[in-house]
Amino acid sequence: MVRIALATISLFFAVFSASAQAPSSEDLERRTIERRAVEAVIWGMSAVNYDLMLQEMLNKTEAKVNEFVYWSQPLDWHNQTLTPNPDTLYFMAFFNTKEVGPLVLEIPPANGGSLNANIVTTWQMALGDGGLLGADKGKGGKYLILPPGYKDRVPEGYIPLHADTFGGYALVRSNLESHSDADVAKSVAYAKRVKFYPLSQAANPPETKFTDAQDVYFDSTIRYDASFFQNLDRIVQNEPWLDRDRNMIDKLKSLGIEKGKPFSPDAQTKELLDRAAREASAWLEAGYDVGFDPFWEGSRWTLPAPKELIAAQADGFSNPDSYPVDGRGIAYSYAYVGIKTLGAGQMYMITIRDKDGDAFDGSKSYRLHVPPDAPVEQYWSATAYDRKTHALIKNMNRASRASNSTEVQKNADGSVDVYFGPQAPADKEPNWVPTDPARQFEVMFRLYAPKPALFEKKWVLPDIEKMNE
């Protein structure tokens, strides 16, 4: 009986296999392009994220590589980078060491102001943190960005940063004591004490150039279409292959991306790349929607990225048994920059759901109660972002409330209630963050110069609650 049964099963599969239509070579090629393109989006997200910002600077401002572009006022919705901080001043230096060699980023001592600086590669891998809570500890320092494979002796007096790409950027945040015109001007002037120049000109450094992008519509939100691969091709053409990424060489070649060759997909391939980018977007969104580890047990406030990615950033992706490409793809679909030591200069928390577990609806009203004695040396802030684009909500006159906003009203015990919604509650306009009733939103809570009490969990930030309508 067993032999008869096995023979019957074998005959069934033989007939089925013979009758089944084998995929054509065209089908196989199409499936290969779509499958590999989805993986390329996830893998290449952090580098494309970088390139989108670089291209906005080059195409919409007068700033050039190895100079500073900055925003002379706290950011508003015209800055459509991913989850930026509207309660500080942003200075960005996109660099490239390919032609000029090592570059010096000179951070001034923390007197008359303070900076939080992060220096990253093209892949937004953290090279180092600078400023009051960085490697120089507020004493000021000369950070030396070294090209890939640099073998020469590092001169004394420099903090070496060994990059594995030619490109990258330094994000320098100049902290605000308040949002007053005087304090903003003071912070701009302090940040302009930063110097940036080639090491070859260290004996007589040229003047650092600063270009103000305050009135520029600066949009580096992720494009989930075939244009994503144009940005990715630019990275492949301009940067060396990293050993850990060599398995992507043939995969990208099947998409038409190959070092030293033009990327010119035909109409049919572009359609496949569009479809793959949309699928990758859905996959990344699903991963983001699951959420990350809660900072406090049972809380809706989570870490800003997957734990394994935070660990990989701290050790420069040096663990041979870990390469969190999926987590990196998700993280850089909604944020940018890399921090070497998260929690030293700043700590971030994200919430995409209210206390009841529901997604934030821009047509509804919510309250965040910030308890007194927040464990920060500098300030805390709560910022609302568009849930779809992860940028500041368009056409809103402000995006956040922060402890360095002098108009924010405190309760008798020193706590603060922050309100989110399409309209301000009665008499609460100074504490209100407007939302778009047609769109969902998300909230990031920042703590600059956090104190140990935060990590000891002695201070707890409650979940955001719906208000009675």
Report how far residue 353's alpha carbon sits from residue 361's, in angstroms, rounded to the nearest whole number: 9
pLDDT of residue 468: 79
pLDDT tens string 348-365? 999 999 999 999 999 999
The candidate with the shortest Cα–Cα distance to 73, out of 89, 60, 91, 84, is 89
Report how far residue 18's alpha carbon sits from residue 193's, in angstroms, rounded to the nearest whole number: 75
Dihedral sign for Cα 434, 435, 437, 438, please.
positive
For the segment 101-113, the average pLDDT, to the nearest whole number, is 95
Type of residue numbered 116: N
The neighbour count for residue 193, using CB atoms within 10 Å, is 16
pLDDT tens string 229-253? 999 999 999 999 999 999 999 999 9
Dihedral sign for Cα 3, 5, 11, 14, please.
negative
Type of residue numbered 160: P
Task: Return mean pLDDT, the chain.
Answer: 94
pLDDT above 60: residue 16? no
pLDDT above 50: residue 457? yes
pTM: 0.93
pLDDT tens string 181-200? 999 999 999 999 999 999 99
For the segment 63-86, the average pLDDT, to the nearest whole number, is 98
Domains belonging to the chain, first-starting first, are 24-52+222-287 (1.10.3360.10), 62-215 (2.60.40.1610), 294-466 (2.60.120.600)
DSSP string covering 303-371? -SS-HHHHHHHHTTT--TT---HHHHHHHTTT-----SSTTTSEEEEEESB-TTSPBEETTS-EEEEE-
